[in-house]
A = this chain, B = another copy of it.
Amino acid sequence: MHFMYALQAAWQSRNSLLCVGLDPDPARFPAHLQGRPDAIFEFCKGIVDATADLVCCFKPQIAYFAAQRAEDQLEALIDHIHDRHPHTPVILDAKRGDIGSTATQYAVEAFERFRADAITVNPYMGRDSVEPYLEYADKGVILLCRTSNPGGSDLQFLEVGGGERLFERVARLVANDWNASGNCGLVVGATFPAEIARVRQIVGDMPLLVPGIGAQGGDIAETMQAGGNSAGTGLMINSSRAILYAGSGEDYAAAARRVALETRDAINAHR
C-alpha cells in the first residue's frame, strides 16, 4: 500500500477525515474482556471492525501495547486491519527520533515488523534522524510540529529568527526540504487553531494529523476552518478516548461506532 495514495482514496471513498486512535487501556475494558490474554487485541479488533467504514485511517499508539508486553497483539491487530479492511492506512504513533543508524532500526520495527503504513517521528534531532524513514517512499512520515499538550509551547513556540517560531521552522523545513519524496505529513494539535492555519499556509496541501479534539478540548469547527486544504481534505482528525470508551459494556463497539459516526458527520458539516 502507498500511504499517501491510500489516504487520498480513503478520504474520498469513505467521505471521512476521521482517524480513530487505538490507545487500549485494559483498566477501561468492558468486563467480558477483562483478564483475557488477548484482551488488547480483541478490544481493538472490536473497535476497528465497528468503525473501519467511517475512518480515513487508524492510529495505534505503541506505548499502550509496550507497557503491557503486548507487541504480539499489535502485530496481530495491524495484520487484521490489512487483511479485513484493505486500503485502510495504519499510522504507528511512535514519535521516534534518533541518530541514523538507530532510526534505521526503528524504521524496520515500524514498517517491516509491524507493517505500518506510516509512522509519527520527532524532528528534534534533525534531517539525518528522519532520512531512514523517508527512504521508504511508499510509507508516510508524519513529523511532530505543534503538539496539542500544554507543554507544547515550552519549545515549539520559541521565536527562532526570521519572524518564525520553532514549529513554523519545522513546518518549513519539512515542506521545502524533507518532503522530497512527497511522503511527509505533520502533527498539529486541534487545541491551537491559529497555528493550524499558519502551518497550512506554510505547507500547502500536505496532510496534517490533528489530535486534540474530544478529551483534550479542541474544537471541530475551528479545526476545519483553520486546517482544510484546497481539496477540502488534507486532515486526519484524531479521536481516541471519546470513541474507544464511549460504552463500557458488551456493546462497547456499537457505542464506539455511534460516536465515530457523530464525529465524522460533525467534521463533514464544516467541510
Contacts and interface: CB of A to CB of B under 8 A. Distances in A.
Q: How large is the interface on A (under 10, 10 to 19, 20 to 34, 35 or more residues)?
A: 35 or more
A96 interface: yes
A97 B69 contact: no
Contacts of A71: 66, 69, 71
A23 interface: yes
Residue from A61, A66, A128 with most neighbouring chain B CB atoms (10 Å): A66
A148 B129 CA distance: 11
A61 to B, nearest CB: 6
Contact of A67 (B109, B125, B127, B160): B109
A108 B151 contact: no
A133 to B, nearest CB: 12
A89 B152 CA distance: 31
Interface string A70-99: 010000000000000000000000011111
A167 to B, nearest CB: 10
Residue from A103, A109, A144, A148 with most neighbouring chain B CB atoms (10 Å): A109
Contacts of A127: 150-151, 154
B122 A97 contact: yes
Interface in A138-168: 144, 147-156, 158-161, 166
A126 interface: yes
A97 B121 CA distance: 10
A149 B98 CA distance: 9
Interface string A101-133: 111011011001100000000111111111000
The 5 closest A-B pairs by CB, nearest first: A126-B151, A126-B154, A63-B105, A128-B151, A67-B108
13 contacts: A61-B102, A61-B105, A63-B103, A66-B106, A67-B112, A71-B71, A99-B149, A125-B152, A126-B152, A127-B151, A128-B151, A129-B147, A155-B169
Interface of A: 23, 61, 63-64, 66-67, 69, 71, 95-103, 105-106, 108-109, 112-113, 122-130, 144, 147-156, 158-161, 166, 169-170, 173, 211
